[in-house]
């Protein structure tokens, strides 16, 4: 089954004529994803990577009513309106790749999506892949690499870090396992789908037998997972690695990569997240490369 995307996914790329949009479109098509349309205002009538371009989402939907996923590759200042336009035109899943979106804009578009029953993955997402079915975004990279890293299987993967999404999927493969769906959820302060949101989907997915999760310092999304486990709302094996323990030894005020990597007092400290998750029943990896073997033993 997988979650979020599958072989029936029909993808619209907003910002398709930009450099990143075209690159992503080419990689998605190479993998077999059905990219059926693109949108760039003022460039309707053109094509990009063999995909027809329209001036608006409404026009694209009129010609391709089967669109059910939008990949957003627009500049930060335009992201809120792009997401709202996609949701307003009935697209149920929006994968927002754009980085650097203002907090107010992120909050607005997430609230709008929830009000209309749509799901946002991101912002700052590297993408989503259900191996051998479909991928949105550039997760996995070129075809030769994506074929090595990703194989259809029974382990779900969620990563807050875009860069660690492939690495986390790879340790699963090295353990001789495959993945059901792999999601780069994004590391911003405000994101559309949290660990809890995605774990709830995996809980009800018959194909997924266990989940591997890459979390990190800052924020409370990992703490919410511990609460979820305590309440028995996720019952499948969950292997977790929390990155950023080194940060506790760094000088106060040191900046880290993700917008959401904020530590306030004891709030967001990796050691506290690890303790809470372990007490709730999560399987904790002390090293990232242990994740695959840990989940394998638990299945």
User: CA 173, CA 235: separation in Å to the nearest integer?
Assistant: 23
Give tens-digit pLDDT for 153-210. Answer: 999 999 999 989 999 999 999 999 999 999 999 999 999 999 999 999 999 999 999 9
What's the confidence (pLDDT) of residue 1? 77
pLDDT at 12: 99
CA-nearest of 209, 142, 202, 199 to 177 is 209
Residues 178, 185: Cα–Cα separation, whole Å: 19
Query: Where residue 264 falls among pLDDT bands split at 50, 70, 90?
Result: low
Q: Per mean pLDDT, which range of 39-53, 205-219, 257-271 is the poorest?
A: 257-271
By the 8 A CB rule, do 157 and 209 touch? Answer: no
Reply yes or no on whether the pLDDT at 268 is more than 80.
no
In the annotation, is 64 catalytic? no
Q: What pTM value is reported for the model?
A: 0.94
pLDDT digits (tens, 9 = 90+) for 77-136: 999 999 999 999 999 999 999 999 999 999 999 999 999 999 999 999 999 999 999 999
Contact between 63 and 52 (Cβ < 8 Å):
yes
Residue pLDDT, tens place only, 250-259 = 556 555 555 5
Structure tokens at 46: 């053109």
Catalytic residue selected from 63, 104, 204, 258 = 258
pLDDT, residue 219, reads 84
Q: Structural domains in the chain?
A: 1-124 (3.40.50.720), 151-299 (3.40.50.261)
């Amino acid at each position: 089954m997988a979650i979020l995307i599958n072989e029936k996914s029909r993808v619209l790329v907003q910002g398709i004529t930009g450099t990143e949009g075209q690159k992503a479109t080419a990689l998605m098509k190479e993998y077999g994803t059905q990219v059926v349309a693109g949108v760039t205002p003022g460039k309707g009538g053109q094509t990009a990577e063999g995909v027809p371009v329209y001036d608006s989402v409404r026009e694209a939907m009129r010609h391709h009513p089967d669109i059910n996923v939008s990949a957003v590759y627009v500049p930060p200042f335009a992201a809120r309106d792009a997401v709202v336009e996609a949701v307003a035109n009935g697209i149920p899943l929006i994968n927002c790749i754009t980085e650097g979106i203002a907090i107010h804009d992120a909050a607005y578009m997430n609230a709008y999506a929830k009000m209309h029953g749509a799901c946002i993955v991101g912002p700052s997402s590297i993408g989503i892949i259900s191996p051998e079915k479909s991928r949105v975004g550039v997760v996995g990279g070129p075809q030769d690499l994506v074929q090595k890293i990703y194989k259809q299987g029974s382990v779900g993967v969620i990563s807050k870090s875009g860069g660690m999404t492939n690495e986390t999927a790879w340790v699963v493969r090295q353990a001789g396992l495959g993945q059901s769906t792999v999601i780069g959820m994004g590391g911003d302060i405000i994101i559309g789908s949290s660990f809890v949101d995605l774990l709830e989907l995996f809980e009800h997915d018959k194909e997924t037998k266990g989940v591997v999760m890459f979390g990190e310092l800052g924020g409370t999304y990992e703490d919410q997972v511990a609460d979820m486990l305590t309440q028995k709302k996720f019952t499948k094996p969950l292997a977790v690695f929390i990155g950023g323990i080194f940060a506790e030894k760094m000088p106060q005020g040191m900046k880290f990569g993700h917008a959401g990597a904020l530590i306030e007092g004891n709030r967001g400290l990796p050691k506290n997240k690890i303790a809470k998750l372990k007490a709730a029943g999560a399987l904790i990896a002390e090293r990232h490369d242990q994740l695959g073997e840990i989940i394998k033993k638990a299945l």
